[in-house]
């Protein structure tokens, strides 16, 4: 399992639109909203799924940038 924390910077006036887009993607949850920034928790089974979800957010209209600020990977046996 992969757990990541993302900081999503939003273009002015696009916050609600981007929040709706993020909430529509499985495995993503909004942890906090600070002005024009959204803190997102991403849970996925593989690193490839994590990368795909990050790219999907980055391609959303109204998203200025996406930064991975935390990344944790566990194997099936629970090792980090």
List of domains in the chain: 2-38+49-71 (3.30.70)
For residue 7, the model assigns a pLDDT of: 97
pTM score, two decimals?
0.88
For residue 74, the model assigns a pLDDT of: 82
For residue 78, the model assigns a pLDDT of: 57
Query: What residue ranges of the chain have pLDDT lower than 50?
Result: none
For residue 29, the model assigns a pLDDT of: 96
CA distances from 61 to 12, 26, 41, 49 (A): 12, 18, 20, 21
The CA distance from 66 to 28, in Å, is: 14
For residue 77, the model assigns a pLDDT of: 64
For residue 73, the model assigns a pLDDT of: 84
């Amino acid at each position: 399992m992969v757990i990541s924390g993302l900081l999503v910077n939003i273009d002015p006036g696009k916050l609600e639109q981007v929040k709706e887009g993020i909430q529509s993607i499985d495995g993503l949850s909004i942890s906090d909203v600070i002005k024009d920034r959204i803190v997102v928790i991403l849970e996925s089974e593989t690193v490839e799924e994590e990368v795909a979800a990050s790219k999907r957010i980055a391609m959303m209209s109204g998203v200025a940038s996406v930064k991975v600020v935390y990344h944790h990977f566990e194997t099936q046996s629970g090792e980090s």
